[in-house]
Structure 1
Amino acid sequence: MFRIGITGGIGSGKSIVCRLFQVLGAPVYDSDARAKWLMSHDVLLRDELTAAFGSATFDATGQLDRVYLARVAFTDPTQLARLNALVHPAVGRDFEAWSITQEIVGSRYLLKEAALLYESGAYRQLDQIITVFAPQPVRQMRVLRRDPHRTPDDVLAIIGKQMSEEEKVQRAEHVIYNDDEHLLIPQVLTLHEAFSR
């Protein structure tokens, strides 16, 4: 079974590309959504988060205090690296278990969607990578339209912390251009047919 990674910077359109693959019957693992779920439900990860960031990481009802964790981790690069060092391996374990299930049910290939596919080392679990590419002005406009609470400077700050699109394109085996000039569906269909053989 082929294991394909799909990545791209904020606003590139990874999610819409993944939805197109899902319409074609491809199973998609959403790393960000699973990371959020695991932080609340994976017992080992919960214990590690509490040990690393203190008892305030979870509130009195046992729910993850995302505001607290964001304040502690996302303002300090050292603490962010510490958080990632706990969450990324948990996501990796979860993905491996999910992949086995997909193989059992007979999937020809699967997709793992992750913004930080290279940065987290998750690309090592995969056979090939697709980068969804869009120019920075297009990405910035999309994010501002999608997230009206963000400012242009917020978006530029996020883009500045991510691996450059050029490097992602160079490292990927496949590129899907979601730049408002190329049609998405034919690009996805071509890859789907190749992966399904």
Structure 2
Amino acid sequence: MQPCLRIGLTGGIGSGKSTVAQMLQDLGATVIDADAISRAATATGGSAIEAIRTAFGAQFIAPDGAMDRDRMRALAFSEPDAKKRLEAIVHPLVGQAIEAQFHAAQATGARCVVFDIPLLVESGHWRHRLDQILVVDCLEDTQVARVLGRNGLDEATVRKVIQTQASRAERLAVADLVIFNDGLTLDQLRKEVRQIAPHFGL
């Protein structure tokens, strides 16, 4: 069985990282989406819900049984310790699910697994587990404009989110490959991804 390449994919909010992940998947990569796993853990019936209820109180669980994201976001911005406590609950569960999905991909003979990890740099423990890191980069104002156009958040909140993430310089410092996704059309972005794909055996 040929070895499976492990590619880390990261980028700040609004960088276009998820779009690049989908394009790599279209080219044959297996994508493991850490953000989707995290959302599932905090959704209705998710594996983190009872621990969140115990740690933060029932008021942080919405009527549908999911974590109240708006309330938790507000708390995390006002109390940095709250963010750490939430991460201590969610991150181990996400890590277990990522490992399970990776082993399943290996078992089916995947040539390339892309770990789509928004907080790859911030976590500090991914570099040694990956063969290459691809960073999707863009200007901060571009990030803000894209997020304002899709998420319904105000500009101050978006900039706060960006400030809690690794800086562009920190992400670029760990990158083996970079896509500068600023001012590109979807077709131009797809062309960039196709040019990089051979590095990943795709």
Q: TM-score, normalised by structure 1?
A: 0.86
TM superposition shift of 1:18? 0.9
Work out the percentage of aligned pairs sharing the same amino acid: 36
Q: d(CA) in 1 for partners of 2:69 and 2:158? A: 20
How far is 1:128 from its partner? 2.1
* Structure 1 stretch displaced more, 20-29 or 96-105: 20-29
Q: Decide which of 141, 144, 147 is 1:143's aligned counterpart.
A: 147
CA RMSD of aligned residues (A): 2.3
Check whether the contact 2:49–2:66 (CA below 8 A) recurs between aligned residues: no
- Residue matched to 2:81: 78
Taking a change above 3 Å as real, the CA distance of residues 150 and 104 of structure 1, as seen in their structure-2 partners, is same
Which residue number in structure 2 is paired with residue 130 of structure 1? 134
What does residue 164 of structure 1 align with?
167
CA contact 2:42–2:66 (8 Å) conserved in 1:
no
Aligned to 1:51: 54
Q: Which runs of 5+ in 2 are unaligned?
A: none
* Matched AA of 2:135: T
The residue that corresponds to 2:42 in the other structure is: 39
Distance 1:107 1:113 in 2: 16
Q: How many residues align?
A: 195
Unaligned 5+ segments in structure 1 are none
Give the TM-score taking structure 2 as reference length.
0.84
Equivalent pair of 2:46/2:66 in contact (CA under 8 Å): no
Q: CA deviation at 1:116?
A: 1.0
What displacement does 1:65 show? Answer: 3.6
**Cα displacement (A) at 1:189:** 1.7
1:96 deviates by 0.2
